[in-house]
């Protein structure tokens, strides 16, 4: 990394010995063109994530999914739903099925239900992964600046090696996507290309 802080932000967390793929909130609200959080590059991210998931399954690497879900009255949404009112689309009784995953989990794959940006906050994700011996998280999903970023930071905080797959994430604009990936790569995670992720998974 060039610039006056290049050496300060030149480290890599690398890969541990046992990875899992974590697909973050890749649901219709983001991937459908008419969704309340529709993203312009969502289709490419879905296709890249599908490749990750297929390779992980072929290699017996665990795949974990996250979704956002709220009680019908949003009582468990706290101030987050006040700040982002469109999150009401994830209430249990909301119309549109916007919380449905764009890719289908297989039987036995864990689906973590969350109410906030990080997949770790208030959920069973960390103990589930630790119990399975997982030490590396290959992160995909949406959005890069929101739930992917928050999950990557908490993965590092929780002792996991976060690997964020560039092509398997998406955001509201290319600039938001790229800027957040650059900052994540500098401080909290390794941002890697899809090919590198697939090659690592295929070695497991």
Quote the pLDDT of residue 187. 96
Residue 11 within any structural domain of the chain: no
Which residues span the domain enclosing 174? 19-66+100-202
Is residue 147 annotated as a catalytic residue, yes or no? yes
Quote the pLDDT of residue 10. 74
CA distance 152 to 168: 14
Residue 79 within any structural domain of the chain: no
* Catalytic entry in 29, 139, 147, 198: 147
Quote the pLDDT of residue 1. 44
Mean pLDDT per 10-residue segment, the chain (204 residues): 61 96 98 96 96 98 98 96 96 96 97 98 97 98 98 98 98 97 97 97 84
Residue 35 within any structural domain of the chain: yes
Quote the pLDDT of residue 41. 85
Residue 130 within any structural domain of the chain: yes
Quote the pLDDT of residue 6. 61
Q: How many domains does the chain have?
A: 1
Residue 5 within any structural domain of the chain: no
Read off the CATH number of the domain in which 25 is found: 3.40.50.850
**141-190 pLDDT tens trace:** 999 999 999 999 999 999 999 999 999 999 999 999 999 999 999 999 99
Residue 86 within any structural domain of the chain: no
Longest Cα pair distance anywhere in the chain, in angstroms? 52
CA distance 65 to 24: 6
Check if the beta carbon of residue 16 is closer than 8 Å to that of residue 9: no
Quote the pLDDT of residue 204. 64
Residue 77 within any structural domain of the chain: no
Residue 170 within any structural domain of the chain: yes
């Amino acid at each position: 990394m060039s610039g006056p802080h290049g050496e300060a932000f030149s480290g890599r967390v690398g890969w541990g010995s046992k990875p899992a793929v974590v697909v973050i909130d890749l649901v219709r609200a983001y991937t459908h063109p008419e969704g309340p959080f529709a993203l312009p590059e969502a289709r490419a991210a879905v296709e890249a994530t599908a490749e990750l998931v297929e390779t992980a399954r072929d290699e017996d690497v665990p795949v974990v999914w996250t979704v956002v879900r709220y009680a019908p009255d949003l009582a468990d949404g706290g101030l987050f739903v006040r700040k982002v009112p469109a999150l009401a689309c994830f209430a249990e009784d909301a119309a549109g099925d916007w919380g449905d995953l764009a890719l289908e989990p297989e039987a036995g794959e864990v689906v973590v239900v969350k109410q906030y940006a990080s997949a770790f906050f208030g959920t069973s994700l960390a103990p589930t992964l630790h119990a399975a011996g997982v030490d590396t998280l290959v992160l995909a999903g949406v959005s890069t600046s929101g739930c992917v970023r928050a999950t990557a930071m908490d993965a590092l905080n929780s002792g996991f090696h976060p690997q964020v797959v560039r092509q398997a994430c998406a955001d509201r604009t290319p600039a938001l996507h790229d800027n957040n990936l650059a900052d994540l790569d500098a401080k909290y995670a390794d941002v890697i290309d899809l090919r590198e992720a697939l090659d690592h998974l295929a070695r497991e």
